[in-house]
A = this chain, B = another copy of it.
Amino acid sequence: MSQRIPVGVLGATGRVGETLLHRVANHPWFELTEVGASEQSAGKRVGDLLDTNSLPTEVADLTLRRLDESWESPLLLSALPSGVARDVEADLAGRGHLIVSNASAYRADPGVPLIIPEVNPDHLALLEGQRERWSGGIVTNPNCVVAGVALALAPLHRSFGLTRVAVTTYQAISGAGRPGPAAFDLVDNVLPFIAGEEPKIAAEPRKILGGVTGSSATPAAFPVDATAVRVAVLDGHLTAVSIECEDRPSVEAVTHAFRSFRGEVAELNLPTSPSEPIVVLEQDDRPQPRLDRDRGDGMTVSVGRIREGEAFHISFLALSHNLVRGAAGAALLNAELCRARGLVGDA
């Protein structure tokens, strides 16, 4: 890249926004120049709201802008809550910005690409059709569970043709935002309900692993059932995944499919891209959230306990860092893909 292009971060003070600030600061391609937050926070310094122990001074010194102000940066990374995102993102896309969003507001919109760069970068073609709606555009990344699950399913769907999927989760606290669940509810307990989560886990993998027809995404056909549960873990969503395929694959074939997966865009060397998108762990008792969530700087999905079953063909565990691969890192990787593809800045 010839020079760094300016980017703004919307929703900078939540957990995902904060993670974005850390990762955009010192980014080789992007320069963090604008940050926005809700009306209550607007006008304050970033450093007055976040623990600045590890934030660079120039980021801590940025003043939070209102979301409805005019923004300079052609590229805006959105970590907004979904309720706010619907209007704000459309408004800013209408004003010519490319919005790369972690919010769920437009993920299910057939005209908005839902992208994992290693899996379906071709879905960026949907931006063409957005021209009728907005002078800019919106690109989204998946839900924090789906980010890891869909990445793990990708090589299996390509190799064996998924016909049925079940996902049960052990989700970390940080996925619930601030302040998140009360300590009183998670000591000696798990919380077996996460509002709005299961329908996303059921729908988003199908869109990601599906195709694009004209200006619409066309989801893959396999049904997905999900059970989402919160556990007393800080970061890292563990998932138990079971699959049925057109042909029953062996454990060896599945392991090989995981291990040989390099992703669609390896040749682009995107800065946030891990050297291995998926790692297969051989120990009986891995992946574990605390031990494996930071693999690949939080961008690698750790897979383990691949085994054959009777109700399904194959079951396995997959773990990914919900704030990185599942949110901030996912958005940033999408932004990098957009720049590498010349959709923003001087690629």
Contacts and interface: CB of A to CB of B under 8 A. Distances in A.
Contacts of A231: 170, 190, 231-232
Contacts of A238: 190, 192, 229
Contacts of A180: 182-184
Contacts of A189: 233, 288-291
A202 interface: yes
Contacts of A182: 173, 178-183
Interface in A231-256: 231-234, 238, 240, 242
A184 B188 contact: no
Interface residues of A, number: 55
Q: Among the interface residues A180, A227, A229, which one has the most CB atoms of the partner chain B within 10 A?
A: A227
A231 B288 CA distance: 11
Number of identical protomers: 4
A187 B234 contact: yes
A188 B234 contact: yes
A180 B51 CA distance: 21
A200 interface: no
Interface in A148-199: 164-166, 168, 170, 173-174, 178-193, 195
Contacts of A223: 309-311
Given A227-B240, A229-B170, A193 B285 contact: yes
A258 to B, nearest CB: 17
A193 B288 CA distance: 10
A180 B242 CA distance: 28
A87 to B, nearest CB: 28
A286 interface: yes
9 contacts: A170-B190, A180-B184, A188-B234, A189-B288, A192-B287, A195-B284, A202-B309, A225-B312, A229-B240
